[in-house]
Amino acid sequence: VDYYIGNIDSKKHLNAFLEVYDHEARQKAVEVDQKVKNGTAGKLAGMVVALKDVFCHTDHGLQASSKILNTFESQFNGTAVQRLIDEDAIIIGRNNCDEFAMGSSNENSAFGPVLNEADNERVPGGSSGGSAVAVQADMCLVSLGSDTGGSVRQPAAFCGILGLKPTYSRISRHGLIAYGSSFDCIGIFSKNVEDMAITLEVIAGKDEFDSTVSTQPVEAYSKSKFDPSKKIKVAYIKETLEAEGISKEIRLKTQEALEKLKADGHTIEAVDFPLLDYLLPTYYILTTAEASSNLSRFDGVKYGFRSPNTSDLESMYKKTRTEGFGEEVKRRIMLGTFVLSASYYDAYYTKAQKVRRIIREHTKGILSNYDFIIMPTTPTTAFKLGEHSEDPLEMYLADLFTVQSSVSGLPAISVPNGTDSGGLPIGLQIMADDFQEDQLLAFSDYLI
């Protein structure tokens, strides 16, 4: 705990933490130490964990990096947080992120951007940028983020660490602030597979507080090993390597990783995915629709901030939301309200639901013939602060490769795949079929 707190203190300029629970963490460390001596310690005894600012944690501040939740404190532990605590993990603080998990650069936080430790002029990715940097810069061992369309995998790639988005419904969403409920997944950042596997093992599984969570038994992820003598079949999607805007160095590194697998005797084949152009529109139509509904609860009555300049109920709602939400969140609420409006519902929302099913079926079709799909995690390495913040469409392109598994509900991981010539980390994304986390993690371990 002292080691991590030392790093948090000396790397304050990275702005990865909104709050540090130093006193509490030290106390818990003493308790856990005693339990270890008594032989009663939990599975995660002493694991120092940080939480993205979207997890309910009893009597701790919770703001989704938004002004609208100013002064709000959570009254209960979400399921994942409770399970970490029950197994004696030590929670060290909460991390900065894009407001309500909307963004790809962590520049949409009400508390200022997070800086990438690899290059302080560059973004760490988003929306879970603070949680990625917390692991990157050794401010904790493991952190939890949320991944709706890439918010764990993309920052993991930008920061040179591992980031997992499990199958939708693998981990209970109880106590996770909702963005797009049919996409939202709790994800894990770490520097190795072992820490990730044991964390997933603890937090996954059925839960009476989330009616959508899977009851499928949780496997012993930390025990599964990849058998290198077993030859596997990997597909890569041709279009992802030919996509407009993909950096040459990322393309080369991805090809190198595929070549290496081939040299080791695995089958590597190119497949077509003609739906690439539909991924981002489908994702942004459906998630903004869900967000506009989920965020209607923040109205100045029930949570956090209320505008002081109001005269009646109507103006209280309006002013609270106008002053409390940031620009990107408002843009998405408006987009989502538009696609759900009576005259456009079928043209946009219903249509996108249909396209979503086609994307999932097509992706599952590929996975019925291959063990994994491999592609780059992102089209570029970490970009400069401010580089894309004027043009939302340009920013949305950062999610080009991560949204496929989110739209499909499938598990995917980003693992480090070297650096570009400027020393910036590159990520490799591996996607698997529903509930194949054990294979996905074991294979990742073999790969890195």
Q: What positions carry a catalytic annotation?
A: 52, 127, 151
Q: How far is the CB of 384 from ligand GLN (least distance, A)?
A: 17
Give the CA distances from residue 343 to residues 290, 338, 348, in Å, rounded to whole numbers and listed in that order.
Answer: 17, 9, 10
Q: How far is the CB of 115 from ligand GLN (least distance, A)?
A: 18
- Specify the stretch interacting with ligand GLN by CB under 6 A; choose among 16-24, 97-105, 252-260, 418-426: 97-105
> Looking at 25, 64, 85, 101, which residue binds ligand GLN (CB under 6 A)?
101
Nearer to ligand GLN, 130 or 300 (CB): 130
- Specify the stretch interacting with ligand GLN by CB under 6 A; choose among 24-32, 58-66, 99-107, 412-420: 99-107
Nearer to ligand GLN, 300 or 376 (CB): 376
- Phi and psi torsions of 441, nearest 5°: -70, -45
Buried b or exposed e, range 360-392, using 16+ CB within 10 angstroms = bebbeebbeebbbbbbbbbbbbbbebebbbeeb
Q: Which H or E element spans position 155?
A: helix 153-159
Smallest Cα–Cα separation from 250: which of 381, 105, 388?
Answer: 381
> Looking at 15, 82, 104, 254, which residue binds ligand GLN (CB under 6 A)?
104
> Looking at 117, 290, 371, 399, which residue binds ligand GLN (CB under 6 A)?
399
Nearest 10 degrees: Cα torsion 8, 11, 17, 18: 110
- Phi and psi torsions of 12, nearest 5°: -55, -35
- Specify the stretch interacting with ligand GLN by CB under 6 A; choose among 145-153, 188-196, 199-207, 305-313: 145-153
48 lies in the binding site for ligand GLN (CB under 6 A) = no
Q: How far is the CB of 389 from ligand GLN (least distance, A)?
A: 13
CB 44 within 8 Å of CB 202:
yes
Q: How far is the CB of 265 from ligand GLN (least distance, A)?
A: 35
What is the rounded end-to-end Cα distance, in angstroms, of the chain? 28
Size of the site for ligand GLN (CB under 6 A): 14
| CA–CA dist 80, 205 (Å, integer) | 10
Give the CA distances from residue 158 to residues 200, 296, 349, in Å, rounded to whole numbers and listed in that order.
Answer: 22, 32, 32
179 lies in the binding site for ligand GLN (CB under 6 A) = yes
Q: How far is the CB of 321 from ligand GLN (least distance, A)?
A: 19
Nearer to ligand GLN, 99 or 207 (CB): 99
> Looking at 63, 151, 282, 439, which residue binds ligand GLN (CB under 6 A)?
151
Both tokens of residue 203? 């937090």
102 lies in the binding site for ligand GLN (CB under 6 A) = yes
> Looking at 42, 78, 150, 409, which residue binds ligand GLN (CB under 6 A)?
150
Cis before 127 (ω within 30):
yes
* CB atoms closer than 10 angstroms to residue 252: 14
Footprint of ligand GLN (CB under 6 A): 101-104, 127, 146-151, 179, 287, 399
